[in-house]
Amino acid sequence: MAGPGPHPVVAKFIDGVKVGEQTAGLDVADGRFSLRTSFALLFSENNGYNNDAYVSSVQFSNGRRSDAFIASLGGPTASKVPGCITARMEGGNVVIRWTGGVGLQSADVITGPWSVLTGVSSPYTVPGPLGSNKFFRPRIP
């Protein structure tokens, strides 16, 4: 319920196209549109006016994403939410896969600094042996 831009605000998108914005009738930060520790109501109202829906992916972010970021997600795709990442051992190598065509970053410690790996696409086989910890994450704009 905080910036960027006017706040509190709920921006509404369909297939990457902004179709509306709501600023009236909203609570403060950690109000009705925030996730709770024990439950969350997705695609529902607190007044009982709910309908069935089919959803293949849901993405949570720490804070509000910009309109440009949400628009860049576009419509539904086979690769689902950009930036979903997995790492597995395959044939003695660590292989990282991620979705959405975004870049991959690496760091020696979890707090960074993070560096973009150039010329890398999913799946990525980590050169080995590593010899020490290495952290990877998708580069989400």
| pLDDT tens across the length of the chain (141 residues) | 555 566 677 788 888 788 998 877 776 666 666 676 677 777 777 677 777 777 766 777 767 777 887 777 777 776 667 678 889 989 888 999 988 778 899 999 999 999 999 999 899 999 877 677 889 988 876
Q: Which residue has the tokens 């690496």?
A: 106
Q: Is 52 left (phi over 0), alpha (psi -120 to 50) or beta?
A: beta
- Peptide bond just before 4 cis, omega within 30 deg: yes
Q: What is the dihedral of CA 31, 36, 41, 42, to 10 degrees?
A: 90
**Would the pTM count as exceeding 0.85?**
no
- Which of 118, 119, 74 is CA-nearest to residue 100? 74
